[in-house]
Amino acid sequence: MFRFLLTRVSLIVPTFIGITLLVFVLIRLIPGDPIETMAGERGIDAALHEKLRKEYGFDQPVLVQYWYYLLRLLQGDLGKSIVTHKPVIQEFISLFPATIELSLCAILFALCLGLPAGIIAAVRRNSIFDHGVMGVSLTGYSMPIFWWGLLLILLFSVQLGWTPVSGRISVMFFVPEVTGFLLIDTLLSGEKGAFSSAVSHLILPTIVLGTVPLAVIARMTRSAMLEVLGEDYIRTARAKGLSNFRIIAIHALRNALIPIVTVIGLQVGVLFTGAILTETIFSWPGIGKWLIEGIGRRDYPVLQGGTLLIGTIVMTVNLLVDVTYGLINPRIRRPR
Amino acid sequence: MTNNAATSTQNVRRGAPAHPFFEFNAYFRKNTGAVIGLWIIIGLLVVAVTADFIAPYSPILTDSKAFLKPPVWQAGGSWAHLLGTDAIGRDMLSRLIHGTRLSLLIGFTVISISIVVGTTLGLVAGFYRGILEIAIMRLMDIILTLPSLLLAIVIVAILGPGVSNALLAVAIVLLPHYVRIARAAVIAETSKDYVTAAKVSGAGSIRLMIKEILPNCMAPLIVQATLGISTAILDAAALGFLGLGAQPPTPEWGTMLADAREFVLRAWWVVTFPGLMILITVLAFNLLGDGLRDALDPKLKS
C-alpha cells in the first residue's frame, strides 16, 4: 500500500510543476508590458516604472523570475489582485466555501437521483423506465447549463415566484461568518428564517450544477450494474435463493461501485467548469464568478493564482480518488 | 456498387462474414437514436448551407419599429417575424439560421484542428517513444488536469475574445483525447505482424505511421470526433455566453443568450430559442456518436 501511495504521489509532482510553468508562461504571453498593464489606462511615470520593474523582478532573466515565482508559491504567496490589492490566496479562501457548498449540494443531488435511477434502469433493462432514464440522461449530458439555468429562472422564479433569482441569501439577514458555509452558519446564528432563505437560494443553482454529473452518474451506474449483473456469482446468488433486493443491493452494487466512485471523482473538473457558468447566471459569490470578473477587469494575478489553485485542487482530488480506488479494489494496489 | 452489394449478400448466405460496411450499416440502422441524430444533423447542415436563401432577413439588420416582438402564435406577434424579434428588432429566425451555420462551422473546424494535431502528436509519441513521448504525454496530462472551460477561458483571456481565438482555445482543450487514442492505438498496433512485415519490406517510419497504422485506429478516432463536435459546440457557446467567444452582433447562439439575459423577465422567446438550438444540435451529435461507437466497436461501449 505504501509503495502504491508513493508512486501515485510522485506522479503528480511533474504535473504540478507543469501547471506552474504553464500559468507562469501564459501570463508572460500577454502582449504588452506587465507594469503598464497593472497601471491601467492612467499610465505611469518612468521612475516609478523602473522601481516597480525592480520590485517585481522583471529586470531579471526569465528563468530566474520563474525560480522566484516558485519560491513565492511555496510560501503561499500568489501575488496581489490588481483591483482590490488583497492577496489572491486570501480572496480565494474567502470565496471558496460558497463554491464548495454549491458543488457539494450539486453532487449530492446528482447521487441521490442518479444512483437509484441507474440501478433501476439496469435491473429493468429495456423497460420504458430504462429508455426514459437513458433519454433524459443523454439530454442532461447535452444540456447547455447556462441556458438551463435561465429556463429554470424563467419558470420557477419569474412565472411561479417560488425561488429567488440570484445571490446566496436574502439581504435582510446578516449572518456572522463562522464556517463560510451558509447552511451551517445560518443555523448557528439562530436567526429566524435565515436558514430557509439560504436553502431557497441554493435550490436552482444546485439543480443546474448537478445536471451534467447526474446524467453521467446515471449512465455510468446503469452500465456498471449491467456488467456486474451478468457475472456468474450473481447467478450463484440467485440459485442460493437470496432475495432480489439482497442480490442487487449487496452483491451487485458493491462491485459496481468501483467504476462509479472513479466517475464521481472525475466530476470535480466538470463541477468547476459548471460552477463558472452557474455562478455567473445566479450571481453566486464564489470562485467561478470571481474568475470571470477578474478577466473582465484584466486582473491577471487573480486569473493566474485562481487557475493554479483550481488545478492543484483537481489534481489532489484525482489523487484521492486513485487512492480510494486502491483501497476498495486491492487488485489495483499490486505493482504490475 | 450494386454488384458489390449483391456479392456481399451472397457471401452472407454462404455464412462468410459480411463486408465490414454492411455489418456496420446493419448495426447502425437498428439504433433508432443514432438514425434520428443523423437526420437532425443532415437537416442542420442543409439549413447552414442554404442560410443566405432561407433566412427571411439579414441576421444583423435591425428594425426600430419591431423591438421584442413575440413569436407569431402569441398575441402581438406577426407573420413578418415568425419567431419574434430581439431587443433591437433583429429577426430571431434569421439569427438562429445563421447561428446554425456558425456553430456547425465552429464544431467542424475545432475537430479538424484537434484531430490533425492530436493524431500527429499521438502517432509521434507512440511510434518514437522515449523522451518525446514523455514530454507530449505530460503536457496532455496538464491540459486534462485543468477544468476544460477554465483553460479555454485562460487562453481566450490572453489571446483576446473573438470567434477564432475561442475556436483555437476549444481545440487545444480537446486535444488530449485524440493524442491518447492515437498513441494507445499505435502502441497496440506496432507489435502486430503486419507492421513488422511492412517494416521488413522496407517501409519508412512515415509510411508505416500513415499508411499502415493510422487506418487501423480510425474507428475510435471517428467516434471521438463525433462526440467531440458536440463538446466543441457546447464549449464555444459557453465562451460566447461569458462574453469571451463570438462578439455581438455575430449571430452566435451563446452570444445571443448573453444578450438576452436581461430580457428574461419580459421576452421568453429571446432566451428560449437559441438555447434550444444548442441543445438539439449537441444532442444530435451525441446520439450519432453513441450510435457510431456501438456500431463500429462494441468493445468501446461504456
> Contacts of residue B227 in chain A, CB cutoff 8 Å?
none
Residue B17: its pLDDT value, please?
66
Residues of chain B above pLDDT 90, percent: 34
pLDDT at site B11? 47
Question: Which is nearest to A308 in space by CA: A10, A25, A7, A5?
Answer: A25
Interchain CB distance below 8 Å, B287 and A138? yes
User: Is A274 within 8 Å of A106 (Cβ atoms)?
Assistant: yes
Backbone angles phi, psi at B91, to 5 degrees: -70, 120
Integer Cα distance of B92 and B103 in angstroms: 16
In terms of CA atoms, which chain B residue is nearest residue A270? B147
Among B221, B227, B219, smallest CA distance to B285 is for B227
Asked whether residue A109 carries a pLDDT value surpassing 90, the answer given is yes
Contact: B283, A158; criterion CB under 8 Å = no
Specify the residue for cell string 459557453.
Answer: B238
Of B186, B57, B171, the C-alpha closest to B107 is: B171
Give the tens place of pLDDT for each residue, B25-42. Answer: 777 788 888 899 999 999
pLDDT digits (tens, 9 = 90+) for A38-84: 666 666 677 777 777 777 677 778 788 888 888 888 888 888 887 78
> What 3-state class would DSSP assign to A319?
helix
Task: Report the residue from A14, A15, A142 with minimal CB separation from B283.
Answer: A142
* pLDDT value for B248: 82
Give the whole-angstrom CA distance, residue A146 versus residue A150: 7
Contacts by B155-160 with C-beta closer than 8 Å and gap 24+? B155/A26, B156/B239, B156/B244, B156/B245, B157/A295, B157/A303, B157/B244, B158/A26, B158/A27, B158/A29, B158/A30
Give the mutation candidate from A146, A157, A226, A298 for the B interface (greatest B CB count, under 10 A): A146
Name residues whose C-beta falls within 8 Å of residue B95's C-beta, 6 or more positions apart in sequence.
B59, B86, B251, B256, B274
| Chain segment B217-247, per-residue pLDDT in tens | 788 888 889 989 999 999 999 999 998 888 8
The more confidently predicted of residues B11 and A252 is A252
Average pLDDT, chain B: 85
pLDDT, average across residues A280-296: 89
- Least confident segment among A78-82, A147-151, B177-181, B232-236: A78-82
Q: What is the pLDDT of residue B108?
A: 94
Of B32, B36, B136, B145, which to mutate for an interface test with A (greatest number of A Cβ within 10 Å)?
Answer: B145
* Spatial CB neighbours of B136, under 8 Å, sequence gap ≥ 6: B121, B122, B124, B125, B179
Percent of chain B's residues with pLDDT above 70: 92
Q: Which of B149, B271, B302 sits opposite A154 (nearest CB)?
A: B271
pLDDT at residue B4 is higher than 70 = no
Amino acid at B123: L
* pLDDT for res B207: 84
Confidence of residue A101 (pLDDT cuts 50, 70, 90): very high
φ, ψ at A226 (rounded to 5°): -60, -40
The percentage of residues in chain A with a pLDDT greater than 70, rounded to a whole number, is 92
Each as own residue / partner, the long-range contacts of residues B266-272 (CB below 8 Å, 24 or more positions apart, any chain) are B266/B68, B267/B68, B267/B70, B267/B84, B267/B86, B267/B87, B268/A154, B269/B70, B269/B71, B269/B83, B269/B84, B269/B92, B270/B68, B270/B84, B270/B86, B270/B87, B270/B92, B271/A147, B271/A150, B271/A151, B271/A154, B272/A151, B272/A154
Write the pLDDT tens digit of every residue in B58-112: 888 777 777 777 887 887 777 878 888 887 888 889 999 999 999 999 999 999 9
Q: Residue B55: pLDDT above 90? A: no
- Does residue B262 have a pLDDT over 50? yes
- Using a CB–CB cut-off of 8 Å, the residues of A that contact B are 14-15, 18-19, 22, 26-27, 29-30, 138-139, 141-144, 146-148, 150-151, 153-154, 158, 220, 223, 269-270, 272-273, 276-277, 280, 291-292, 295-296, 303, 307, 310-311, 314-315, 318
Chain A contact set for B155 (CB, 8 A): 26
CA separation for the pair B68, B140 (Å, rounded): 46
Does position B205 have pLDDT exceeding 90, yes or no?
no
Whole-number pLDDT of residue B5:
46
Provide the mean pLDDT of chain A.
Answer: 84
> Cβ contact (<8 Å) for A15 and B142?
yes
pLDDT grade, residue B16 (50/70/90)? low
Preceding omega of A213 cis (within 30 degrees of 0)? no
**Do residue B145 and residue A19 have CB atoms under 8 angstroms apart?**
yes
Output the pLDDT for position B260: 86
Give the model's pLDDT for residue B101.
93
**B2-9+24-300 belongs to which CATH class?**
mainly alpha
Q: In Å, how far is A184's CA from the nearest CA of chain B?
A: 28
CA–CA separation, B75 and B83 (whole Å)? 12
State residue A33's pLDDT score: 66
